[in-house]
């Protein structure tokens, strides 16, 4: 009897344990289901982004907890840390998140943010070098880019070229007008370096395929003339014609007599209007008082101006004058040119 009693008690205890285990499992399953639903809701619900241009700036070496702290500091997420850890583990990105500047938008979810960070899809900023700028204008524009690390302040043009490995080159004209992409924190010198390399490649490539019989001795002379063509007209279809005029003048020893070069030589003394005294005042860039090309480029020529110099339009014209509508009148003789000047510049009747 005593043995049977003990066996019954043991069965009762075993049944109670089984019932308790069952209850624990049920509640555990309910809790797991609740957590999973909450986790999925967290992972795929948009972050609380303030403004349309919000960003997340992640310094180099920042871990996942540090990233979550940055998000909470911006009130972009109030989710508990275990949710972020579980999501990163689920996505296998815990140790592969990249530093950098990331765009935050109203549609961005924690899952898409971590995916973007694992791929290193940082914000790419753009800087455009404008055709016809001089180097002074280029430096000023670079200094105004808040996302670039400034390293050029206080350096002379010559010191900048030395840093670019081109100490024997004048800075003017040496950077290709294009749009360059950069990341936040990159040195401004990096943009200049890429623009300098791009100009050398463009110039060398065009020079190797230049037309025959050009009165130019080097790619640098082509760069100088292209900078003048760039400043003489903004009309792409006229650049080969203007290049042709200057080529013919160089061939016969005629002075270029180009106002943009004179203006460049005046520097800060230029008051917005070119005067007779300016044309008579000799400077290294006064192509009315000096024959041949000026000593350096006067601006940053674009690809079209460079191509025009390498392949100038044929013809006999030696003169051109602005019509006042952005185009030019080309003339073969001085007499025809004077007539065009009277018509378009002085308002005289032919």
pLDDT tens digit sequence for 276-319: 999 999 999 999 999 999 999 999 999 999 999 999 999 999 99
Q: What is the pLDDT of residue 20?
A: 60
Q: What is the pLDDT of residue 42?
A: 86
What is the block-wise mean pLDDT of the chain (350 residues), using blocks of 10 residues? 54 61 60 66 88 89 93 89 91 93 92 94 96 97 95 95 95 98 95 98 97 96 98 93 97 96 93 90 95 97 97 95 89 92 70
Give the Cα separation of 337 and 323 in Å (integer). 12
The answer to whether domain 47-123 has CATH 3.30.1490.480 is: yes
β-strands 100-103, 55-58: how paired? antiparallel
Q: What is the pLDDT of residue 334?
A: 94
CB atoms within 10 A of CB 24: 10
**Shortest CA distance to 97 belongs to which of 134, 124, 59, 126?**
59
Q: What is the pLDDT of residue 345?
A: 78
**Shortest CA distance to 122 belongs to which of 184, 170, 77?**
184
Residues in Cβ contact with 172 at an 8 Å cutoff, skipping those fewer than 6 apart: 134, 135, 157, 227, 296, 297, 298, 299
| CATH 3.30.1490.480, the chain: domain bounds | 47-123
Q: What is the pLDDT of residue 78?
A: 87
* Inter-residue long-range contacts of 327-332, CB under 8 Å, 24+ positions, other chains counted: 327/235, 327/238, 328/233, 328/238, 328/241, 328/242, 330/241, 330/245
Question: What does pTM read for this prediction?
Answer: 0.83
- DSSP assigned state of 164: T
What is the DSSP code string of 234-264?
S-GGGHHHHHHHHHHHHHHT-----HHHHHH
Q: What is the pLDDT of residue 65?
A: 93
Q: What is the pLDDT of residue 155?
A: 96
Give the Cα separation of 214 and 312 in Å (integer). 9
Q: What is the pLDDT of residue 350?
A: 43
- DSSP assigned state of 187: B
Q: What is the pLDDT of residue 43?
A: 87
Provide the token pair at 280. 């008579």
């Amino acid at each position: 009897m005593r043995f049977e009693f003990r066996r019954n008690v043991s069965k009762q205890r075993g049944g109670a344990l089984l019932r308790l285990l069952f209850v624990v499992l049920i509640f555990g399953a309910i809790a797991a289901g609740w957590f999973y639903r909450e986790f999925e809701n967290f992972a795929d619900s948009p972050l609380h982004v303030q403004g349309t241009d919000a960003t997340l700036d992640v310094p180099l070496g920042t871990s996942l907890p540090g990233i979550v702290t940055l998000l909470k500091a911006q009130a972009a997420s109030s989710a508990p840390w275990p949710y972020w850890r579980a999501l990163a583990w689920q996505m296998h990105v815990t140790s592969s998140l990249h530093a950098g500047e990331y765009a935050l938008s109203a549609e961005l979810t924690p899952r898409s943010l971590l995916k973007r960070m694992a791929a290193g899809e940082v914000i790419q900023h753009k800087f455009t070098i404008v055709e016809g700028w001089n180097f002074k204008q280029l430096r000023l524009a670079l200094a105004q880019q808040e996302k670039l690390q400034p390293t050029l302040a206080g350096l002379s043009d010559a010191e900048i070229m030395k840093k670019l490995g081109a100490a024997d080159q004048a800075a003017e004209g040496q950077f290709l007008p294009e749009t360059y992409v950069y990341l936040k924190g990159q040195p401004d010198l990096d943009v200049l370096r890429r623009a300098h390399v791009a100009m050398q490649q463009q110039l060398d490539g065009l020079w190797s395929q230049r037309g025959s019989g050009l009165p130019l001795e080097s790619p640098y002379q082509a760069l100088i003339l292209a900078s003048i063509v760039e400043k003489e007209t903004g009309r792409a279809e006229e650049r080969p014609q203007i290049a042709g005029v200057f080529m013919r003048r160089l061939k016969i020893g005629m002075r270029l007599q180009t106002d943009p070069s004179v203006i460049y030589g005046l520097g800060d003394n230029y008051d917005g209007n070119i005067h007779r005294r300016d044309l008579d005042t000799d400077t290294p860039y006064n192509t009315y008082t000096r024959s041949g090309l000026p000593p350096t480029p006067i601006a940053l020529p674009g690809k079209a101006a460079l191509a025009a110099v390498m392949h100038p339009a044929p013809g006999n014209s030696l003169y051109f004058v602005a019509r006042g509508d952005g185009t030019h009148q080309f003339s073969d003789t001085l007499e025809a040119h004077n007539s065009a000047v009277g018509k378009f510049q002085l308002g005289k009747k032919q």
